Amino acid sequence: MKWYHSLKTHIAAALVLQLVLVILMAIFSMYELNLRKHDYAVLNLAGQLRVISQHLVSQSQNYKIAAPRDYESYKRDLKIYHKNIQKQLKNYATIISDFQQRKLSVELTGQSEPIYCNWDERSLNQLNKTADEWRAFADGFKDAIGDNEKEPRLEYAANFIVENGDVLIQGADRLAQEFQTMMEIKLNNINRINVVLIVIFIVINISIIFLFFKKVFKPLDETRKIFKKVANGNLNCQVEIISKNEIGLLSQSFNVLTQRLYSLLRLTERIHQAESLDESLKIFHQEFKCFFSINLVCMIRKSPNAYQFTLERIYSDVACDLHENDKFSLEDPILHQALTRHHPLTINQLQNKNNSELSNALLANKFVSVLSLPMESMNNDDIILVIAAQKKDAYLSEHIDLLENLTTQLSHSLYKTIGMEGLVISTIDGLAKLAESRDPETGDHLIRMSLYSAIIAEELSKKVGYKDIINAAYVRDILRFSPMHDIGKVGIEDRILLKPGKLTTEERTEMERHPVIGAKVLKRCEQQMNEIGRSIFKMGIEITEYHHEKYDGSGYPEKLKADEIPLSARIVAAADVFDALTSKRPYKDAWPVEKAMAVMKEDAGKHFDPQVIAALENAMPKVMNVYNEHKHI
């Protein structure tokens, strides 16, 4: 968040702005008060001019009435009248001079400092006129009183003052009036400025209130409403972010929180509904991609008494050479530390020098960040969920906290899915044993042909046309469901099923019903699973119903041909015949592998899918390992 988006900055700016306005108003008020003091001093001095003028005229009139007629009286008037007139004329001259200099001395004002004045044009014009009148009056008075300072002509001076004193009085009145007018204009201007400042202060406060309502109170109110919805269980609602301040960040954090809660609840719901571990890992990958970087998630398992960790399931959204059933040492640092510490282990920059098989395998696939999360142990199995990303520093402490809080929930979900898969495997094994119980000769045959089917599927997955069809789950399912291909034989009478000789046409027709019988049983099982929202036996139905179809359409029960036959059934058909040819039966000896392959290659395009036969031939080293290990003796 930028500092200028911060609510603290906005509040501080509003307070500072208000403080500045208050200070400005206070300073202006003090300035105005000083101006008023100055104005009072100016008006007082202007009034003094008028008073001095009046006193001069009044004293001169009195002097004329009682003018001295002897020398003694004249000397007395020199001390009183003459001295008083000189003093007043000096004061008048000083006031006029200070007015013109625009600096009123402390002797005149009685202030601690001189007062500096500014006159408007009208006041200045009147001041100049009054000063001119004063100078003319002073010159006339000087002529009237004479140059003899010891014996001035007081009576002439008095006559002059009486005759010309009105000029000074009127000049002083006009000057005082102009000053008064100027002061009133100043006062009006000050009042207007005060009004403007008050209006500005009110507008700023209203704006601040409006902005706070828009940026703070309204978002808080909207957030409160959303909080209430979330409190009522609606986690799929978001607060609209209308600001970039702390309220916006709070709303954004709240949105992230509700999104995470919603995702976690959805994760829990989806994982509980998962039908397989593959689906569980896929769901985990999809839901947690919004929280952190994740390209790979795999489940590594250590069963009791096992001497290695086994990569049991894997899901990746990028190309990856890790495979199911890959083995890792019990001393692998990443797995061992996570398991012994019972705490997630994070490495954000994998290196080859840590002596870890898992680390080397991840680095070979360009995964550089890894997080290993030990699940809670159940049934004495140790399970570690490994998450990896091709981005450095992908996992932070907050991600570890999130996963740790979900460990128990994830553990129960995974073990539930594992239990469901175990139940499916047990069901499949049970159904397969039904056929084995009717025909004991098929026991080892089921083991071999299921492994052959898985090997062929793995080999086919390397070809371009099959990469999007055959994955690890497909191979695992074909390994599980291929032993069920002949379960329909439980519905065939023993006299036909166990007949040592050649079957009659009617018996052959009855025997060819076993794919339909087996498919009917599995379809009923699938229907029951569908009723609880699951699908398990889809591939088993395909294999059971169509493994006797032929590529050229001459098979049974529906005479499908080529790609009309499900791929799983085409694979199992080849694996079934290959094992039948290379295994000893009561009515025949085992064929050499070379002879069996030659016959099957000859039937490619007729009985068998040519691509499947090519895959069987390419995978022959692995096929021979199975053949030698489980050979029918």
DSSP symbols for 86-148 = HHHHHHHHHHHHHHHHTEE-HHHH--SS-EE----HHHHHHHHHHHHHHHHHHHHHHHHH-S-
Neighbours of 315 (CB within 10 A): 24
Mean pLDDT of 26-31: 76
Residue 372, beta-bridge partner list: 345, 386
Amino acid at 29: S
Residue 571 has pLDDT above 70, yes or no: yes
Determine whether domain 439-629 maps to CATH 3.40.50.1980.
no
pLDDT confidence tier of residue 501, bands split at 50, 70 and 90: confident
Q: What HEC string does 519-569 produce?
A: HHHHHHHHHHHHHCCCCCCHHHHHHHHHCCCCCCCCCCCCCCCHHHCCHHH
Helix (H, G, I), strand (E, B) or coil at 307: coil
**Helix or strand holding residue 470 (H, E):** none
Render 474-526 in DSSP notation, one character per residue: HHHHHHHHGGGTTGGGGGS-HHHHT-SSPPPHHHHHHHTTHHHHHHHHHHHHH
pLDDT confidence tier of residue 421, bands split at 50, 70 and 90: low
- Return the closest-CA partner of residue 484 out of 406, 540, 524, 418: 540
The CA distance from 549 to 190, in Å, is 108
Which CATH number applies to 3-211? 1.20.120
Mean pLDDT of 295-299: 88
- Return the closest-CA partner of residue 365 out of 322, 326, 324, 329: 322
Sign of the dihedral through C-alpha 156, 158, 161, 164: negative
CB-neighbour burial class of residue 23 (10 A; exposed 0-12, middle 13-18, buried 19+): exposed
Residues 6+ apart with CB under 8 A from 122: 178, 181, 182
Residue 378 has pLDDT above 70, yes or no: no
CA atoms within 13 A on the CB side of 487: 25
Question: Which sequence spans correspond to the domains of the chain?
Answer: 3-211, 275-398, 439-629
Sign of the dihedral through C-alpha 12, 14, 16, 18: negative
CB 583 within 8 A of CB 445: yes
Residue 69 has pLDDT above 80, yes or no: no
Mean pLDDT of 64-89: 77
Q: What integer pLDDT is reported at residue 344 of this predicted model?
A: 82
State the chain's mean pLDDT as an integer.
Answer: 82
Determine the distance from the C-alpha atom of residue 135 to the mean position of all C-alpha atoms in its chain, rounded to a whole number.
86
- Return the closest-CA partner of residue 42 out of 186, 183, 170, 222: 183
Residue 221 has pLDDT above 70, yes or no: yes
pLDDT confidence tier of residue 404, bands split at 50, 70 and 90: confident
Q: What integer pLDDT is reported at residue 596 of this predicted model?
A: 92
Amino acid at 546: Y
Residues 6+ apart with CB under 8 A from 467: 461
Residue 442 has pLDDT above 60, yes or no: no
Burial 562-597 (b: 16+ CB within 10 A, else e): eeebbbbbbbbbbbbbbbbbbbeeeeeebbeeeebb
Mean pLDDT of 524-535: 80
The CA distance from 49 to 134, in Å, is 11
Determine the distance from the C-alpha atom of residue 65 to the mean position of all C-alpha atoms in its chain, rounded to a whole number.
104
Place of tokens 């954004």: 252
Q: Which of 152-166, 206-220, 238-252, 444-458 has the lowest mean pLDDT?
A: 238-252
Tokens of 282: 């896929």
pLDDT confidence tier of residue 209, bands split at 50, 70 and 90: confident
The CA distance from 469 to 570, in Å, is 14
Helix (H, G, I), strand (E, B) or coil at 384: strand
CA atoms within 13 A on the CB side of 417: 22
- 32-40: list long-range contacts, CB under 8 Å, 24+ apart: 32/190, 32/194, 35/186, 35/190, 37/111, 38/115, 38/117, 39/183, 39/186
pLDDT confidence tier of residue 245, bands split at 50, 70 and 90: low
Amino acid at 456: I
pLDDT confidence tier of residue 266, bands split at 50, 70 and 90: confident
Determine the distance from the C-alpha atom of residue 581 to the mean position of all C-alpha atoms in its chain, rounded to a whole number.
65
Q: What HEC string does 171-190 produce?
A: HHHHHHHHHHHHHHHHHHHH
In 330-396, alpha helices (H): 333-341, 357-364
Strands (E) located in 289-408 = 296-302, 308-316, 327-329, 345-347, 369-374, 382-389
Residue 129 has pLDDT above 90, yes or no: yes
Residue 443 has pLDDT above 70, yes or no: no
Place of tokens 């970087």: 293
- Return the closest-CA partner of residue 50 out of 168, 135, 183, 181: 168
Neighbours of 11 (CB within 10 A): 14
Residue 570 has pLDDT above 90, yes or no: yes
Residue 436 has pLDDT above 90, yes or no: no
Tell me phi and psi for residue 385, to 5 degrees: -95, 120
Q: What is the dihedral of CA 32, 35, 36, 41, to 10 degrees?
A: 170
What share of the chain in percent tops pLDDT 70? 86
Q: Which of 70-84, 291-305, 522-536, 538-552 ranks highest by mean pLDDT?
A: 538-552
Q: Looking at domain 275-398, which CATH architecture does it have?
A: 2-Layer Sandwich (3.30)
- Return the closest-CA partner of residue 580 out of 607, 615, 556, 551: 607
Greater pLDDT, 531 or 365:
365
